[in-house]
Amino acid sequence: MKLSTKNVATLLVAASLAAAAPGISQLTVSKKRRESRFDRLLQRHDRKGELRAELLSMNAQDFRQAIRTTSLNTLISQSGMGTKRAFRMALVGRLRDELLSRGWTRARIERYVLIRAVRMA
C-alpha cells in the first residue's frame, strides 16, 4: 500500500469513529454529495482505490472501473462481505495491521486513536 503513515493513521481514526458513532457515517443533507463523510474521507485518502480494492479482493484498476458503474454497496455484497459495516470493520483491521507492520505498537495505536477521536468527534 502506498499511503503515507499519517494517512493510514487518519483513516484508522475515522474508521474507528464510523464504527462506534453512527453520526460520522450518516448521509449529509447536501444534495450535491449524497455520501457519508466517512466515505468521502476514504475516497480522498485512497484516491487510487488500492486499499478498498485489496479488501474486496480486486486489483486497483478493476476496482476503479467497477466503482464507476456500480455502487460500493454492490461491490461489497458481490465480494461476499455482506454489509458495509463488515467492510468497515475489515478496513479497521487492515489499517491496524498496516500500522503494526510500519513499526507502531498496539499501545501507540490505541493512544493515537483515543487522542484523535476526541478532536474529530
Using one digit for the tens of pLDDT, what is the confidence trace for 41-89?
777 878 788 888 999 999 999 999 999 999 888 999 998 888 888 888 9
Position 63 in a domain = no
Position 60 in a domain = no
22: which residues sit within 8 A by CB, 6+ positions away? none
Position 44 in a domain = yes
In contact, 94 and 51? CB cutoff 8 Å: yes
Position 93 in a domain = yes
Mean pLDDT of 14-39: 62
Position 64 in a domain = no
Q: What is the pTM of this model?
A: 0.79
Position 99 in a domain = yes
Question: How much is the mean pLDDT over the chain?
Answer: 83
Kindly tell me if the per-residue pLDDT of 106 is higher than 50.
Answer: yes
Tell me the C-alpha distance between 88 and 83, whole Å. Answer: 9
At residue 88, the pLDDT reads: 87
Position 75 in a domain = no
Can you give the residue range of the structural domain that contains 110?
5-51+84-120
Number of domains in the chain: 1
33 backbone dihedrals φ, ψ, rounded to 5°:
-115, 95
Position 12 in a domain = yes
Q: CA-CA-CA-CA torsion for 87, 77, 79, 55, nearest 10 degrees?
A: -20
47 backbone dihedrals φ, ψ, rounded to 5°:
-60, -40
Kindly tell me if the per-residue pLDDT of 32 is higher than 70.
Answer: no
- pLDDT confidence bin for 27, thresholds 50/70/90: very low
At residue 20, the pLDDT reads: 67
Answer with the residue of higher pLDDT: 35 or 49.
Answer: 49
